[in-house]
Structure 1
Amino acid sequence: MKKPLLSLFLGIFMCLTSQAQENYFFPGETFDPNVPSPSEFLGYKIGDWHTRYDLIVKYFEKLDELSEMASLKTIGYTHELRPKIILTIASKANMANLEEIRLTQLQLADPSQPKPDVSSMPSIIHQGYGVHGNEPSSAEAAMLTAYWLLASQSDLAKNLRDNAVVHFDPTVNPDGRDRHSHWANTNKGFPPVADPMDREHNEVWPGGRTNHYWFDLNRDWLPLAHPESQAKIAWYHTWYPNVTTDFHEMGTNSTYFFEPTKPYGSENPVVPRKNYDDINTRFAKYFSKYLDEIGSLYWTKEVFDNSYPGYGSTYPDIHGGLGLVFEQASSRGHLQSSQRGDISFEFTIRNHVRSSLATMEAALDNKDFMHDYLREFFETAVSEGAKDPAKNYVFGDEFDENRNRMFVQFLMDHQIKVYENTDDLSLGGYDFKKGKSWVVPTSQPQYRMVRTMFEEVTEFADSVFYDASTWTMAHAYGMPYAAGPSVKLGEQVTNNTPTPYEFPEGKAYAYLIDWSDYYAPKNAF
């Protein structure tokens, strides 16, 4: 056989093989044969095994290697030193112009800057998966969705590549995912065992939900206690995505949940009603359409809430975007019986793939609307902050320098503007000394995050909460603070570093440590 014919034959064979392997997820689709499907790359059909995180990273590295439309970036590392990655997919033209696109998006989110022409701007979509490690279907869906976006020859995929920049975070919690994947794979039955009492479906404590230190990272977008969240938030503020997804799993006997969440009383008090009453409704129509097409059952509005700012689906709502939570009934293994029959791992993955595609189509169709909303969000933040009776929040601990600096840095990590206090002030029963206290004005683009840090919300329309009902971070730091009138602002803080003790060199029998300092226990032990 001549070489050109052989190449043609092999190309057609590879294309058909790829399509056959992923046909369950993308029936009838045509793909670029030069881009391997996840099944081709991994050597097993998606859903047959729980994919280890290092293999997910390797697959994304392969996409980055093969295509000019894909770019992989490491944004940080977990406690167990697994890389935190973001895969970005867009057209060649947009990839070549990516930094300008990013800066224009930041300009749109800054009301002090001229508003750019939103009609010429691509939609910025952030697909986030797997914050809970033992809710594993979403990370598999991340690989499939990235493959579809990069390789599909459909009109929708081409339109998305041309008019959107899509960022994939395949696993927010890599350490927990690998802990669960190891359990599910090593306890897998041959053939699969659907009995809920089987060992595969009942992982030992502490399970894979949490990270290395057993912390639930879906509560950490606000406190930023862990490197996974710190890296994620630092990256988030370099883009301000229009839409951010947050894929989860729930009990096996449920079906599928998408937003809106439970209305009135369960929403965060600083998020504009437009987000809940208009934008969520716009997007929900796409989710129902995509799930109807494959006959998957779903529900919405009945439970879950968006109250706590530290959720992955709420934090974006407080930054001019749309945060979306999805909940899929879990197979908690490879196959498990439920009230509606056996649920396979493959089935749970497919539902999340459908919602991923629906999200991108909805974001694209509402591109200009979401860009306009991003600018409107920050403009109204400044104007509402100017009308707030509390013109400033003053804070500071006279005796604990490092506690002060930790809190200042925390506010800055959330892009809140902080200024030096230049006068001695008495407010709210506290005395704030110049040089040892700071001022946060309310009239600033991050006004709604300022409220999140300092306001004390004690009354709610709905007494039923899924989770946290309080989050005033100034109290979490034990920080003295008070709301007050306009005060003189000193220099804006731009360089702020906590300073642990440095013990003097030379021989010593003992060291005396001032126990009022935040770092005292760390240095004593």
Structure 2
Amino acid sequence: MKQILLLACFLYSISNISQEIKSPSEFLGYELGTQFTRHHEVVDYYEYLAEAAADRVQLTSYGKTNERRPLILAYVSSAANINNLESIREDHLKSTTGTGNASKAIVWLSYNVHGNESVSTEASMQTIYELLTNKADYLENTVVIMDPCINPDGRDRYVNWYNENKNTPNNVDPNSKEHREGWLSGRANHYMFDLNRDWAWLTQVESQQRLKMYNQWLPHVHVDFHEQGVNNPYYFAPAAEPFHEVITDFQRDFQVTIGKNHAKYFDAKGWFYFTKEVFDLLYPSYGDTYPMYNGSIGMTYEQGGSGRAGLGIITGIGDTLTLKDRIDHHFTTGISTVEVAAGNSQKLNDEFRKFYQPKNYKYKSYVLNGDADKIRALTTLLDQHQIVYGSGNGSSVKGFDYASGKSGTSKTSSNSLVISTNQTKGTLVKVLFEPNAKLSDSLTYDITAWSLPYAYGLDAIASESLVANSTSTTEKNTVTPLDPQAYAYITDWNSMDDARFMAELLKEGIRVRYTDKPFTLSGKKYDRGSLIITNADNKKKKGFLGLLEASAKKNHKTLTATTTGFVDGGKDFGSSSVQMVTDTKIAVLSGEPTSTLQFGEIWHFFEQQLNYPVSILYSDYWKQVDLSKYDVLVLPDGWYGSSFDDDQLQRLKDWVKSGGKLIAMGGAINGIDGEKGFGIKAREMKKDTTLSLESYDISEREGIKNAITGAIFKTKVDTTHPLAYGYKDTYFSLKLGDDAYEYLDKGTVVHLDKDTVPVAGFAGSEAQKKIGKTLIFGVENVGRGQVVYMVDNPLFRGFWENGKLFFVNALFMVN
């Protein structure tokens, strides 16, 4: 009788709570799933819950997007836990040091990283309502952190587009316009970056602000909610191979535990699903892998639908998939995840503590040397990840040499960067810095190589011993006052800091020169590309020295003053070999046939990395634009095929002949190669006409012989060419496919030799044959202009730091 009374009291209290708190449908004024909710309305609902259930919901804003939309987190738990939230957080983080007595499960649910995968934000509102009402018991020993929309800019772009284009009532015909989102889709953020591939690289403001919050919690469980093609059944953990070798047995097993719990609910409803396929756990910059490498159970959940589904659509088998269906599925896995975590809170805490115990990885330390600007750029990333590093102390180090691919030695100095795996984030260090990630399966969802020493262009040794180091101190960026009587001020040309310095001077109207030939002055050697700013060139510029000093300080530049333009060796400053950097007018093609992601990389590069103005020409009207107003036209990677007709190709060629500079990247080369317009020629491979019979089951694996899944190759560089100023004679290029072009008759600047075995990552045997002795970057002179060919992408996802100066050289140095 007593148990019945207790149950009645509990149900009565739940009923009262349900009555006190409005459901999403009640608050929004329409049934959830019958409309798409705009971001400000979602925020309104979460703010309402934080007020109506203030004892169980704590809301915080962790930043804003590029378009000024708020980024929010909701902490949801029992009243006692919310009242003690900071103590719970602190006790949980003590587990990373093997101390503390943490007992609560921390579950982080992330929604809508891809804006047009729009169902998850809708599902988040139903999920938080259910946790506060019917599933409140799950919160007794669980703190749930909910990010209702990681990508508000992209989501509102999709929602606004859909509302503008949908039928009334909505039409389930897949051919209706509401199911045909255009080129500027809602998937990516403002700069068209894929935020789901930015967790490790942190190029975007959303990622940077989110990771600050993530590192404050390091949850036990993290779920990234997604959508996939309309005809696909639901996907949930466990993930597919390859798993990175650092992923623990417990992390694997707990994915199975959660997956089986989901399956129980899906089976009861007769819903279709799949596991252990497609979505692997290797590439470190996803919303499932990055948490895994920080001790979490990281998972991707994929619902069929995405930007094609709208409010409802007919699937390939004739069923109707509605937004309500999609909400139900994501809601079910979200609640199921919290249920499993709540029932395994102690196990999660025990295993999280074990994850952070010292690991016996093969390489104990990574020692990096190179340009100070590149070291500084890397330490900025390390700081964001809370990775600890130090400086060398003069000791000698032996280990794997990244440059040679063999055993080598190096001597450390105070300028060396030393990073050890003997630290809290040691597993993440191994994943980001190891020379070559071990592959348990060559069929992967993304790139297979990303090692940061290669990405940043630094010399590196991976040591099997722990390398002693000194604690790094914050560099004081001071600039010695410039001598107003100097003839000129000189600085080097090696990095993006140099490029930003030059760009800022050009915007300020300060005239800058650069040298085509090395020279020596006062016993110091200056390489090709070195910048020279003379007083004579800028005598009419008001406040010249003040502007120059301020820019040097801002961009970490050291300027060397000289009282003469008469050099000790090389060409004097008045020589034709010392040229003026022109105030270049640059345009970039956007719209079809360009790739949104690759266009976004370029757009972001100009506005957020180089800080230099660029005009964006849309493909719908670019034919009518007077190209003579621009010095440079950039064609981003894309699917050009026959996009340019004969008239357009002739127009481009005439513009180049008249002095224009065309930069063709990736697939854009296919739109202008060979007989289509310019001199570059695609590599033709002889086809094997021998009939080969193979089973249907192995055909996919046979196909990967022709694939390159993001592998790193060592290339050769002509350092005398302006496109290569600031580079050494080798460059590690990230190759994303087997596109191959013959060497140029003149102007081959970066190329692959006959040895095409990647230094890291996977490349199929046939693909390796195809790319042997082919072009990476080159320049063709056409009349008074140039065409710069970039077969590989030097701006890939904004993180391949060592490729960016090639792009700047193409803009400013190639003449």
Q: By the TM > 0.5 criterion, same fold?
A: yes
The one-letter code of the counterpart of 2:39 is Y
**1:77 and 1:46 mapped to 2: Cα distance?**
26
**2:41 and 2:213 mapped to 1: Cα distance?**
23
Give a deviation string over 1:340-391, Cα, whole Å, max 9, x none.
4111111111100011110000111111111111001111xx1324xx3x33
**How is 1:125-524 mapped onto 2 (pairs within 5 angstroms)?**
125-150=107-132, 152=133, 154=134, 157-262=135-240, 265-276=241-252, 278-330=253-305, 332-340=309-317, 341-379=319-357, 382-385=358-361, 388=362, 390-397=363-370, 400-423=371-394, 425=396, 427=398, 428=401, 431=410, 434-457=413-436, 460-484=439-463, 485-491=465-471, 493=472, 496=474, 512-524=490-502
**1:243 and 1:59 mapped to 2: Cα distance?**
25
**2:171 and 2:483 mapped to 1: Cα distance?**
63
Report deviation, 1:34.
Answer: 2.0
Secondary structure of 1:64 counterpart = helix
- Contact kept in structure 2, 1:452 and 1:471, CA below 8 Å: no
Secondary structure of 1:33 counterpart = helix
Query: 1:279–1:59: structure 2 CA closer, same or farther, 3 Å change rule?
Result: same
**1:183 and 1:320 mapped to 2: Cα distance?**
39
Report deviation, 1:213.
Answer: 1.1
- Contact kept in structure 2, 1:336 and 1:343, CA below 8 Å: yes
- Contact kept in structure 2, 1:313 and 1:325, CA below 8 Å: yes
- Which position in structure 1 is the counterpart of 2:716? none
The one-letter code of the counterpart of 1:456 is P
The one-letter code of the counterpart of 2:245 is P
- Contact kept in structure 2, 1:320 and 1:377, CA below 8 Å: yes
**2:110 and 2:280 mapped to 1: Cα distance?**
18
- Which position in structure 2 is the counterpart of 1:22? none
The one-letter code of the counterpart of 1:486 is L
Query: 1:434–1:295: structure 2 CA closer, same or farther, 3 Å change rule?
Result: same
Larger Rg: 2
**2:32 and 2:476 mapped to 1: Cα distance?**
47
* Structure 1 unpaired stretches of 5+: 1-27
The one-letter code of the counterpart of 1:490 is S
- Which position in structure 1 is the counterpart of 2:106? 124
Report deviation, 1:408.
Answer: 1.4
Report deviation, 1:507.
Answer: 12
Query: 1:109–1:197: structure 2 CA closer, same or farther, 3 Å change rule?
Result: same
- Which position in structure 2 is the counterpart of 1:21? none
Report deviation, 1:295.
Answer: 2.6
**2:234 and 2:474 mapped to 1: Cα distance?**
45
**1:415 and 1:237 mapped to 2: Cα distance?**
8
Q: Is it true that 1:32 corresponds to 2:10 in the alignment?
A: no
Secondary structure of 1:520 counterpart = helix
**2:50 and 2:448 mapped to 1: Cα distance?**
42
Report deviation, 1:504.
Answer: 6.4
Give a deviation string over 1:96-155, Cα, whole Å, max 9, x none.
1111000000001223xx242x4xx221110111111110000101111111112x1x3x
- Which position in structure 2 is the counterpart of 1:44? 30
Give a deviation string over 1:10-35, Cα, whole Å, max 9, x none.
xxxxxxxxxxxxxxxxxx98852221
Give a deviation string over 1:263-308, Cα, whole Å, max 9, x none.
xx421222123321x1111111111112223332111112221111
Query: 1:53–1:432: structure 2 CA closer, same or farther, 3 Å change rule?
Result: farther
Q: Is it true that 1:106 corresponds to 2:93 in the alignment?
A: yes
- Contact kept in structure 1, 2:244 and 2:439, CA below 8 Å: no
Query: 1:417–1:458: structure 2 CA closer, same or farther, 3 Å change rule?
Result: closer
The one-letter code of the counterpart of 1:468 is I
- Contact kept in structure 1, 2:244 and 2:438, CA below 8 Å: no
Report deviation, 1:473.
Answer: 2.1
**TM-score, normalised by the number of residues in structure 1:** 0.85
Q: Which moved more, 1:358-367 or 1:231-240?
A: 231-240
**1:216 and 1:508 mapped to 2: Cα distance?**
48
The one-letter code of the counterpart of 1:185 is N
Question: In structure 1, which of residues 77, 84, 98 is the aligned counterpart of residue 64 of structure 2?
Answer: 77
Secondary structure of 2:75 counterpart = strand
Report deviation, 1:214.
Answer: 1.0
Report deviation, 1:442.
Answer: 2.3
Report deviation, 1:443.
Answer: 2.1
Secondary structure of 1:238 counterpart = helix
Q: Which moved more, 1:346-355 or 1:505-514?
A: 505-514
Q: How many residues align?
A: 477
Secondary structure of 1:211 counterpart = coil
**TM-score, normalised by the number of residues in structure 2:** 0.56
- Contact kept in structure 2, 1:424 and 1:432, CA below 8 Å: yes
- Contact kept in structure 1, 2:130 and 2:136, CA below 8 Å: no
Secondary structure of 1:384 counterpart = coil
**1:234 and 1:508 mapped to 2: Cα distance?**
46
**1:228 and 1:207 mapped to 2: Cα distance?**
18
Secondary structure of 2:19 counterpart = coil
Query: 1:510–1:255: structure 2 CA closer, same or farther, 3 Å change rule?
Result: farther
Query: 1:509–1:66: structure 2 CA closer, same or farther, 3 Å change rule?
Result: farther
**1:323 and 1:436 mapped to 2: Cα distance?**
37
Query: 1:496–1:282: structure 2 CA closer, same or farther, 3 Å change rule?
Result: farther
Query: 1:163–1:426: structure 2 CA closer, same or farther, 3 Å change rule?
Result: closer
The one-letter code of the counterpart of 1:281 is V
Q: Is it true that 1:86 corresponds to 2:38 in the alignment?
A: no
Give a deviation string over 1:377-423, Cα, whole Å, max 9, x none.
111xx1324xx3x33111132xx323212211212322222112121
Structure ranking higher in strand proportion: 2
Report deviation, 1:476.
Answer: 1.5
Give a deviation string over 1:466-512, Cα, whole Å, max 9, x none.
11211212221222211123332212x4x647969899699999864
After the TM superposition, which parts of structure 1 deviate over 6 Å for at least 4 consecutive aligned residues? 500-511
**1:177 and 1:503 mapped to 2: Cα distance?**
49
**1:453 and 1:234 mapped to 2: Cα distance?**
19
Query: 1:344–1:524: structure 2 CA closer, same or farther, 3 Å change rule?
Result: same
Report deviation, 1:432.
Answer: 5.1
**1:58 and 1:497 mapped to 2: Cα distance?**
44
Percent identical: 35
Secondary structure of 2:27 counterpart = helix
- Contact kept in structure 1, 2:390 and 2:469, CA below 8 Å: yes
Q: Is it true that 1:53 corresponds to 2:39 in the alignment?
A: yes
Secondary structure of 2:391 counterpart = strand
- Contact kept in structure 2, 1:430 and 1:481, CA below 8 Å: no
- Contact kept in structure 2, 1:256 and 1:298, CA below 8 Å: yes
